[in-house]
Amino acid sequence: MTFGTFPQTATYWALAGNDGYGGMTFSTPVAVTVFWQDVNQKYMNESGEEKVSKSKVFLEQDVTVGSYLYLGTSAASSPYDVSGAYEIKSFSKVPSLDASEFERKALL
């Protein structure tokens, strides 16, 4: 895949913090352009355990683990209210050979 080829729109809820009651809070949802693939890929989580992703998503911007993505647009204030919104389990950012661009990939 060539960097910069992002034909789809997704909704991104950035993890904002803890609500004080054991739940999480999220920033206002924003539309992001993506290349979304529903494929399984093995990865290591932050605890060093091997896991398998549900989807692989290439993005134009950085995202954070614990935040959520949904393929399509949503104005819902919480990803918990959207069927098909998935938590970002892993994120990687790899530069091109000349470091002029980055490949950003989130695993859900």
Average pLDDT score, the chain:
92
| Amino acid 1: pLDDT | 44
| Amino acid 85: pLDDT | 98
Half-sphere exposure of 71 (CA within 13 A, CB side): 16
Q: Look up the CATH number of domain 8-107.
A: 2.40.10
Q: For 92-106, what is the mean pLDDT?
A: 91
CA 4/CA 24 separation, integer angstroms: 32
Q: For 27-49, what is the mean pLDDT?
A: 93
Residue 42 near residue 29, CB atoms below 8 Å: no
Classify 26 as helix, strand or coil. strand
* 107: exposed, middle or buried (Cβ count in 10 Å: 0-12, 13-18, 19+): buried
How far CA 77 is from CA of 36, 54, 63, 97, 98, in Å, comes to 22, 23, 18, 39, 39
Extents of the domains making up the chain = 8-107
Percent of the chain with pLDDT over 90: 79
Percent of the chain with pLDDT over 70: 96
- pLDDT, one tens digit per residue, over 52-94 is 999 999 999 999 999 999 999 999 999 999 999 999 999 999 9
